[in-house]
Structure 1
Amino acid sequence: MSDKHNSSAFSSLKGQLLIAMPQMNDPRFHHAVIFMCVHDKNGAMGMVINQPLPSPDFEDVLKQVGIASERPLDEKIRQTPVLAGGPVQGVHGFLIHSSDFTQKDTIHVDDLFSISGTVDSLRAMVGGYKPDKMLFTLGYAGWGPGQLEKELQDNVWLSAPASYEIVFNTPANQMWENAFALIGVNPVMLSGVSGRA
């Protein structure tokens, strides 16, 4: 008996974007764009990348984890946005960054994107070794086995390829619409249609 139906059913969204559908009823994810860093049969993990926090700013985060710079911080580091990455472990920080920066804890998601999550990575940045592009999130969004697949079937999310331009160069308040535009979809025209692009 063949098991080919089960072996081809899973398709990972690692390195892609999840875009909240307009009818999303969870206020934590209203108009959310999530960068997916892990997705396998055991579950999924991603960070919301378009919900800036009013405080703390990145300089405050560095102080809170005991990193002080002997010289003024580079403007690029000071301007790193601090985002509400999701409802899980809201005090744990993650750097989503270009793949030109590598530390011991760095996970290379794909050729464009990597994630780091330790104080050592932050310390290296303050010391002058930093990625070309970066975002900083507090917390993440997580799904158990099969949970994300069910939400996709229920048209809660639309998936799309991650774009360097969308992730790193698009203002947070424009990201949701631009992520839809990237795949040629007008969110106004959506109701309960398919969850995949």
Structure 2
Amino acid sequence: MNLQNHFLIAMPSLLDPYFEQSVVYICKHNEKGAMGLIINKSIENFSVSNMLKKLEIRISYNINIRNLEKPVIAGGPVAEEHGFILHTPITGFASSLHLNDEIMVTTSKDILELLGTEQHPVNSLVTLGYSSWEPGQLEKEIMENCWLTVEADTQLIFDTPINERWKAAAKLLGINISTMSIQFGHA
């Protein structure tokens, strides 16, 4: 089972401080393991425009600042100083990975420079850090009932309020995750 372009939805019993009530978008999943970005844990008081200013990237103020006022997301516990940008497709970046027809992930500074201009992607989500799993580790965690999985939904990534993404992702499966017990068993 390949989980690329899927969400991992943390079960209520997953109490790890990084992953509790998290939704992870899986960017890559193969025999070498998995890599994903948490999409629902904002870094407090740190917006995209704050980050661009800190990196001394110029912002054109005659643009729609919707994407610039969004918070930066804590993408995971690995390489927390590195940025990863999920965005709607645009061309011209060697360090972009085309994930599907609606989403790319880019790690180059070039795209950050675009975020403050008229050429910015229609939608973007900026994270610092990423999440990763060794070969077989994610599958084991799924078997241990740590995660639910569902095909990713672009609207949830870009349009659903951050604090509603965990419940909204579970709703894609028809589940009200708030009513699930922390206790679980195996059949």
TM-score where L is the length of structure 2: 0.90
8 Å CA contact 1:101, 1:131 repeated in 2: no
8 Å CA contact 2:74, 2:129 repeated in 1: yes
8 Å CA contact 1:166, 1:175 repeated in 2: yes
Report the Cα offset of residue 80 of structure 1: 2.9
8 Å CA contact 1:17, 1:160 repeated in 2: yes
CA distance in 2, matches of 1:73, 1:23: 46
Aligned length: 183
8 Å CA contact 1:101, 1:130 repeated in 2: no
8 Å CA contact 2:12, 2:180 repeated in 1: no
Question: Residue 36 in 1 paired to residue 33 in 2?
Answer: no
CA distance in 2, matches of 1:127, 1:38: 29
CA distance in 2, matches of 1:58, 1:116: 15
Highest Rg: 1 or 2? Answer: 1
Greater shift, 79-88 or 100-109, is seen at: 100-109
Question: Residue 153 in 1 paired to residue 143 in 2?
Answer: yes
2:6 maps to what in 1? 16
Report the Cα offset of residue 129 of structure 1: 1.2
CA distance in 2, matches of 1:101, 1:136: 18
CA distance in 2, matches of 1:133, 1:34: 18
C-alpha RMSD over aligned residues: 1.7
1:162 to 152, 162, 171: 152
Structure number with higher strand proportion: 2
Unaligned residue ranges in structure 1 (runs of 5+)? 1-10
2:134 maps to what in 1? 144
Report the Cα offset of residue 143 of structure 1: 0.6
8 Å CA contact 2:33, 2:133 repeated in 1: yes
Report the Cα offset of residue 110 of structure 1: 1.0
1:181 to 160, 171, 174: 171
User: Deviation per CA, 1:18-65, whole angstroms, max 9, x where unpaired?
Assistant: 000010020111100001101111011101100111132212211232
2:78 maps to what in 1? 88
1:25 to 5, 12, 15: 15
Unaligned residue ranges in structure 2 (runs of 5+)? none
1:4 maps to what in 2? none
8 Å CA contact 1:106, 1:116 repeated in 2: yes
CA distance in 2, matches of 1:193, 1:56: 40
SS of the residue corresponding to residue 123 of structure 1 reads helix
Question: Residue 192 in 1 paired to residue 181 in 2?
Answer: no
CA distance in 2, matches of 1:172, 1:189: 21
8 Å CA contact 2:98, 2:105 repeated in 1: yes
Structure number with higher helix proportion: 1
1:124 to 114, 138, 151: 114
CA distance in 2, matches of 1:73, 1:144: 45
Cα distance 1:189–1:89, how it changes in 2: closer, same or farther (>3 A)? same
CA distance in 2, matches of 1:62, 1:68: 7
Report the Cα offset of residue 73 of structure 1: 6.3
TM-score where L is the length of structure 1: 0.86
